[in-house]
Amino acid sequence: MYKLDDSQLIYLTIYELKLFAPASVNGKNTLAYLDTAASQITVSNRIAKNLPQKGKMIARSAFGEREFDTVSVRVKFLGTDIQDVEARIKKEDDPAPFRSDLTLDGNTLLSQPLIYDFHILGLLPAELFAADGEFTEEWTKIPSKFLDNGLCILEMKANDKILKAIFDTGAGLTVVNSAHGTENRLELKPEYEIEIHDATGAKSKQVINSCMGLQIGKMEIPPFDSFVSDLHDIEEALGERIDLVFGANSMLKSGLRWFFDRETNKVFVN
């Protein structure tokens, strides 16, 4: 049984389809950008400028790759205290109207049972206190797979076709994998064109489509914006089929509560 304590609810800040929540880095309070598809914590230049460099790392995305310097930091989030974690240094600080010195990765965000509530826009820790780990209220279990790098891959559907989707809070818009063409059975209607910036800083002009027909369990997500990109290289790197990257805009449009328990490999929606 999972015990849910609403008194622990932490409200999200939403800015330009990015999700932020309170955290601290090296003892300084900040709003942390939540990126469940990131493989490493990222800190701002403000935090890193007086710290000794620890090393270098390469970050890859659908649009390219980029090299980053790294430093060692201390992070606190939802009661979890992470000491001496290696973090990459962001090359440019975002022009957000508030201070955000930290990006949290998938391993950190899914290190404890947690609910993402896109109805009231909050995060809610859930304490596991029995081995079976089931809810007393009406939740739908979603087939899922947690990878060692922190990614969570979910099963979704479109016209009875099973789709594999990365749950990616760091993707502002949902991405449909062009490598599988029309196999995914999603209905895409071109709407407009914009420039997309990804987590590595790479830029790409994309046609934005209205996407229809995506189901999670028995629930159909209302039409949402998406763009099409070839995710073959990401599939090869992960060794997994990926039909789409389920981004923050679709999560917000769904209005659903998503529960993740990596330890027991369980995901529920409500």
Superfamily of domain 137-255+263-267: Acid Proteases (2.40.70.10)
- What is the CATH topology of the domain spanning 2-126? Cathepsin D, subunit A; domain 1 (2.40.70)
Closest to 146 measured CA to CA, from 126, 166, 124, 127: 166
Alpha helices in 34-161 (DSSP H): 45-48, 106-109
Domain 137-255+263-267 in the same topology as domain 2-126: yes
Interval 38-49: pLDDT, tens: 988 999 988 888
Most confidently modeled range among 68-77, 88-97, 228-237, 243-252: 243-252
CB neighbourhood size of 164 (10 A) = 19
Please tell me the predicted confidence (pLDDT) of residue 37.
92
Interval 158-191: pLDDT, tens: 988 999 999 999 999 999 999 987 788 899 999 9
Our measurement of the distance from residue 242's CA atom to the centroid of its chain's CA atoms, rounded to an integer in Å, reads 15
Domain boundaries, the chain: 2-126, 137-255+263-267
Distance CA 201, CA 92 (A): 8
Helix, strand, coil share (%) of the chain residues, nearest 5? 10, 50, 40
